[in-house]
Amino acid sequence: MKVFIGADHQGFQLKAKLVDYLRSSGHEVIDEGDTVLKQDDDFPQFAGRVAQALLADSSQDARGILICGSGQGMCMAANRFKGIRASLAWDVDEAHTVRNDDDSNILCLPASILKSERAMVIIQTWLSTPFAGALRYKRRIKEMDELQ
Protein backbone atom coordinates (compact mmCIF):
# COMPACT_ATOMS: atom_id res chain seq x y z
CA MET A 1 0.00 0.00 0.00
CA LYS A 2 1.17 3.54 -0.73
CA VAL A 3 1.38 5.70 2.40
CA PHE A 4 2.02 9.45 2.41
CA ILE A 5 3.40 10.64 5.74
CA GLY A 6 4.17 14.01 7.28
CA ALA A 7 5.00 15.49 10.66
CA ASP A 8 5.88 18.76 12.30
CA HIS A 9 8.72 19.14 14.82
CA GLN A 10 6.69 17.48 17.59
CA GLY A 11 6.10 14.37 15.49
CA PHE A 12 9.45 14.33 13.70
CA GLN A 13 11.15 11.62 15.81
CA LEU A 14 8.09 9.35 15.79
CA LYS A 15 7.71 9.80 12.03
CA ALA A 16 11.26 8.57 11.42
CA LYS A 17 10.55 5.35 13.32
CA LEU A 18 7.21 4.87 11.58
CA VAL A 19 8.70 5.36 8.10
CA ASP A 20 11.18 2.56 8.84
CA TYR A 21 8.40 0.35 10.22
CA LEU A 22 6.11 0.93 7.24
CA ARG A 23 8.87 0.28 4.70
CA SER A 24 9.96 -2.89 6.48
CA SER A 25 6.30 -3.99 6.39
CA GLY A 26 6.33 -3.72 2.59
CA HIS A 27 4.54 -0.40 2.14
CA GLU A 28 5.59 2.25 -0.34
CA VAL A 29 6.22 5.32 1.82
CA ILE A 30 6.32 8.86 0.48
CA ASP A 31 7.71 11.23 3.10
CA GLU A 32 6.11 14.65 2.70
CA GLY A 33 8.35 16.16 5.36
CA ASP A 34 9.78 17.61 7.14
CA THR A 35 13.16 16.12 6.21
CA VAL A 36 15.11 17.91 8.95
CA LEU A 37 14.02 18.85 12.45
CA LYS A 38 12.97 22.52 12.57
CA GLN A 39 11.58 23.67 15.90
CA ASP A 40 9.70 26.58 14.35
CA ASP A 41 7.89 24.70 11.58
CA ASP A 42 4.09 24.76 11.32
CA PHE A 43 1.87 21.68 11.03
CA PRO A 44 -0.55 23.02 8.35
CA GLN A 45 2.10 22.83 5.63
CA PHE A 46 2.65 19.10 6.21
CA ALA A 47 -1.06 18.37 6.50
CA GLY A 48 -1.56 20.17 3.20
CA ARG A 49 1.23 18.26 1.47
CA VAL A 50 -0.09 14.87 2.55
CA ALA A 51 -3.73 15.73 1.77
CA GLN A 52 -2.89 17.10 -1.68
CA ALA A 53 -0.63 14.17 -2.51
CA LEU A 54 -3.29 11.69 -1.45
CA LEU A 55 -5.99 13.43 -3.47
CA ALA A 56 -3.75 13.56 -6.55
CA ASP A 57 -2.76 9.90 -6.32
CA SER A 58 -4.56 7.44 -8.58
CA SER A 59 -4.06 4.44 -6.27
CA GLN A 60 -7.35 3.24 -4.83
CA ASP A 61 -5.79 2.10 -1.58
CA ALA A 62 -3.36 4.96 -0.89
CA ARG A 63 -3.52 6.46 2.60
CA GLY A 64 -1.93 9.22 4.65
CA ILE A 65 -0.48 9.52 8.14
CA LEU A 66 0.08 12.83 9.94
CA ILE A 67 1.82 13.35 13.28
CA CYS A 68 1.98 16.38 15.55
CA GLY A 69 1.91 16.92 19.31
CA SER A 70 -1.80 16.34 19.89
CA GLY A 71 -2.76 15.05 16.45
CA GLN A 72 -5.67 17.51 16.51
CA GLY A 73 -4.02 20.31 14.55
CA MET A 74 -3.07 17.97 11.72
CA CYS A 75 -6.57 16.51 11.72
CA MET A 76 -8.25 19.92 11.51
CA ALA A 77 -5.92 21.10 8.73
CA ALA A 78 -6.25 17.94 6.62
CA ASN A 79 -10.05 17.91 6.90
CA ARG A 80 -10.23 21.25 5.10
CA PHE A 81 -9.64 19.35 1.85
CA LYS A 82 -12.74 17.91 0.21
CA GLY A 83 -12.44 14.15 -0.04
CA ILE A 84 -10.17 13.85 2.97
CA ARG A 85 -11.46 12.01 6.00
CA ALA A 86 -8.70 12.54 8.54
CA SER A 87 -9.22 10.89 11.89
CA LEU A 88 -7.41 11.14 15.19
CA ALA A 89 -6.62 7.80 16.82
CA TRP A 90 -4.76 7.11 20.03
CA ASP A 91 -5.68 3.45 20.45
CA VAL A 92 -6.54 0.35 18.43
CA ASP A 93 -10.29 0.63 18.97
CA GLU A 94 -10.37 4.15 17.52
CA ALA A 95 -8.18 3.08 14.58
CA HIS A 96 -10.54 0.23 13.80
CA THR A 97 -13.70 2.33 14.13
CA VAL A 98 -12.54 5.22 11.93
CA ARG A 99 -11.69 2.80 9.12
CA ASN A 100 -14.68 0.48 9.51
CA ASP A 101 -17.34 3.17 9.91
CA ASP A 102 -15.89 6.33 8.36
CA ASP A 103 -13.50 5.07 5.65
CA SER A 104 -10.77 7.28 7.10
CA ASN A 105 -8.05 7.94 4.55
CA ILE A 106 -5.67 9.91 6.79
CA LEU A 107 -4.65 8.80 10.26
CA CYS A 108 -3.56 11.53 12.67
CA LEU A 109 -1.42 10.53 15.62
CA PRO A 110 -0.60 12.40 18.86
CA ALA A 111 3.16 12.18 19.37
CA SER A 112 2.83 13.60 22.88
CA ILE A 113 1.20 10.42 24.21
CA LEU A 114 2.30 7.63 21.85
CA LYS A 115 5.45 5.57 21.99
CA SER A 116 6.54 4.13 18.66
CA GLU A 117 5.55 0.53 19.49
CA ARG A 118 1.98 1.54 20.30
CA ALA A 119 1.81 3.77 17.23
CA MET A 120 2.88 0.83 15.07
CA VAL A 121 0.04 -1.34 16.39
CA ILE A 122 -2.45 1.49 15.80
CA ILE A 123 -1.17 1.95 12.25
CA GLN A 124 -1.29 -1.79 11.51
CA THR A 125 -4.90 -1.93 12.73
CA TRP A 126 -5.85 1.14 10.68
CA LEU A 127 -4.16 -0.12 7.51
CA SER A 128 -5.63 -3.61 7.76
CA THR A 129 -9.20 -2.66 8.65
CA PRO A 130 -11.46 -2.51 5.59
CA PHE A 131 -14.31 -0.05 5.22
CA ALA A 132 -17.50 -1.92 6.10
CA GLY A 133 -19.41 -0.18 3.31
CA ALA A 134 -22.76 -0.20 5.10
CA LEU A 135 -25.35 1.96 3.37
CA ARG A 136 -25.60 4.30 6.36
CA TYR A 137 -21.81 4.80 6.36
CA LYS A 138 -21.77 5.54 2.63
CA ARG A 139 -24.67 7.95 3.06
CA ARG A 140 -22.85 9.83 5.82
CA ILE A 141 -19.67 10.13 3.77
CA LYS A 142 -21.70 11.50 0.86
CA GLU A 143 -23.33 14.01 3.23
CA MET A 144 -19.90 15.13 4.44
CA ASP A 145 -18.72 15.62 0.86
CA GLU A 146 -21.72 17.85 0.19
CA LEU A 147 -21.03 20.20 3.10
CA GLN A 148 -19.94 23.69 2.11
Residue 119: closest CA among 36, 1, 16:
16
Residue 4: closest CA among 121, 84, 99:
84
Separation of CA 21 from chain center = 15
Question: Is 108 annotated in the active site?
Answer: no
Q: How many CB atoms lie within 10 A of CB 84?
A: 21
Residue 104: closest CA among 88, 92, 121, 82:
88
Q: DSSP character for 131?
A: P
Catalytic residue among 22, 54, 67, 68: 68
Q: Active-site positions?
A: 68
